[in-house]
Amino acid sequence: MSEMDSQTHSQASEPETPLEIDRSFTYRVTIASLIVGVILAGIAALILFSLARPLTADEQGNVNWSLSGLLFPAAAVFVGTILFWSVFGLPLRVARRRGVILDPEIYPWTGAVLLGVFFIGAFVLAIAFGII
């Protein structure tokens, strides 16, 4: 057996260090990831909504289609994708890099509940300020 094969074989036979479940890290990384997602989604929404123009109709009632008229639904999909990634993807990636397992009892629903609270709060604020 060559020297390189013996090194590879000895490295493969060493047991990996077991990963730990860390509840406080789960809370911290979920909240931090949601904050990052809200900031990124807010920037993307501001950019896309500033480019969006409402669809217009001519005298016969035909709609004049334009790319800017489709940016509103595209922005909604884009923002939703960013928030989904920030709640369900980013915490897993951070935990994997740190060598920690997110607590399976609290991880998925913590982010979803926080995201729901954020949306309800934004909706209430929009009503209070007369936006909707």
Per-residue pLDDT of the chain (132 residues; tens, 9 = 90+): 555 555 555 555 555 656 667 788 889 999 999 999 999 999 998 888 887 777 777 788 787 777 777 788 888 899 999 999 999 899 999 988 988 888 888 888 888 888 889 889 989 998 999 877
- Report yes or no: 121 and 127 within 8 Å, Cβ to Cβ: no
Query: What is the distance between the alpha carbons of residues 79 and 100, in angstroms, rounded to a whole number?
Result: 28
Query: What is the distance between the alpha carbons of residues 73 and 63, in angstroms, rounded to a whole number?
Result: 17
Residue-level pLDDT at 19: 63
Query: What is the distance between the alpha carbons of residues 36 and 30, in angstroms, rounded to a whole number?
Result: 10
Residue-level pLDDT at 13: 52
Residue-level pLDDT at 118: 87
Residue-level pLDDT at 9: 54
Q: Quote the pTM value.
A: 0.70
Residue-level pLDDT at 50: 81
- Report yes or no: 79 and 44 within 8 Å, Cβ to Cβ: yes
8-state DSSP, 101: E
- Report yes or no: 21 and 103 within 8 Å, Cβ to Cβ: yes
Nearest to 75 by CA among 94, 50, 95: 50
Residue-level pLDDT at 82: 93
Query: Which run of H or of E encompasses 1?
Result: none
Residue-level pLDDT at 106: 86
Domain boundaries, the chain: 20-128
Residue-level pLDDT at 7: 53
